[in-house]
A = this chain, B = another copy of it.
Amino acid sequence: MSKEASTHATGNKGWVGYRPELKVVDCTVRDGGLMNDHNFPLEFVQQIYAADCAAGVDYMEIGYKGMASMYPKTQYGLWKFCTEENMRRAIGEKKGATKISVMADAERTDFNDILPREKSVVDMVRVATYIHQIPSALEIVADAHNKGYETALNIMAVSTVPESELESALEIIVQSPVNILYVVDSFGTLYSEQIRGLVQRFQKFTIPAKKELGIHTHNNLQLAFANTIEAIVLGCNYVDASIAGLGRGAGNCPLELALSFLHNPKFKMRPILEAIQNTVEPHREALRWGFAIPYMLTGYLNQHPKAAMQFMEGDDFRNIIKFYDDAVQQP
C-alpha cells in the first residue's frame, strides 16, 4: 500500500482518505438482466462498458455463462449466455482499462463454454452458488482457475443459512484456489449490524487463507449503500454496484453513490451520470427496478423477491395494500 493512501479500514482518516486496492465491479448488465431475461440490446452493453472505462470502474460484469441447453433462446437474450462472439461485439477486440467479469451459476454452466483465458475477453469468472451447491461451484472455480482466470465465489441467500453451516462452507471454500469470496445479501434483508457479523464471520476464514472479500447488496430496505459502506470499512475490497442501482427487484447499491464515497481520484462521476441519463433511466418505466413497497416487504421478511417482482410486472403494481394483504398478512 502506498504511503499517501489512507484507508477507511484503519479508520485513522475516516472517509476522507481512500484505499487504492479497493475494486469496483459494475453489475448493471448482469444483475439488471434479471429484470428482462437478459434482453438488453447490444448498444446498451456497449454504452455501459464505455462509461465504466471512462469512469475508472475496475470490472464490468457482462452477464451469465448460462448452459445453452437449459434456457430457450426465444426467451433469453444474449447476456444469459455471453458467447465470446457477442462479448466482442459489445466491447470490441481491444479492451479498455475495465476488466470483464462473467457469472457462472453452479449446476447451470457448461465448462466447455469457458475458453482458456488467453482466447477470451473475460478476466474474471464469478461463480454463484447456493449453500447446497458448493461442491459443484468449486468445480467451476477450479476449472476457471486452471484456465487462467481470476475467480470469485458468491454464496447466495446467505441470510437464510445457519451460521454453523456457513462456517462449514467457508472452511471448504478457502481451501480452493478462489481469489475472492463475496458476502451477498440476495434478499436485501440485512441490517448493517448483520452485515458486520457476516463479514467478520467470513474474515475468520478469509484472512488466514489470504483471500479477498467482496460485498453485493440489494436495496429492498434502502440499505444497499449503507451496508456496502459497512463492509468497506470492515475491509471488503471488492464492491459490487450498478448504475442507477439497476438490478433485480429493488436493485443494487447505486454505482454513483459508491463512487461518491470512495474518493479515489481515478474514479470519475460524469461518465456514470451520462450513462444514467442516456442509457439506463430510459428503461425505468419498463423494468420498474428500485425501491418499492413490495420489495421492502419481501426484504423485511427475508424472502426471495420473486413474488414482488411478479407483482411489479402487473398493471396493478401501485396497489401495495393488495400485495401486503396477499403476500404478507395471509398465512
Give me the interface of A with B, judged by CB distance under 8 Å: 14-15, 191-193, 219, 221-227, 229-230, 233, 254, 256-257, 260-261, 269-270, 273-274, 276-277, 281, 293, 296, 300, 318-321, 324, 329
Q: How far is the CA of A69 from the CA of B259 in the complex (A)?
A: 46
Residue of B with least CB distance to A325: B270
The 5 closest A-B pairs by CB, nearest first: A226-B226, A222-B225, A260-B300, A277-B320, A273-B320
Contacts of A223 in B (CB 8 A): 225-226
A193 and B233 contact, Cβ closer than 8 Å, known pairs A225-B221, A225-B223, A273-B293: yes
- What is the minimal beta-carbon distance from A1 to any residue of chain B, in angstroms? 21
Check if B293 sits within 8 Å of A276, measured CB to CB: yes
Question: DSSP majority for the A interface?
Answer: helix
* Contact of A256 with B293 at beta-carbon distance under 8 Å, contacts A191-B229, A192-B226, A225-B223 already known: yes
Asked if residues A277 and B221 are in contact (CB atoms below 8 Å), the reply is: no
Knowing A273-B321, A318-B277, say if A260 contacts B191 (CB, 8 Å).
no
> Are A277 and B319 CB-contacts (below 8 A) given A193-B15, A226-B192, A257-B222?
yes
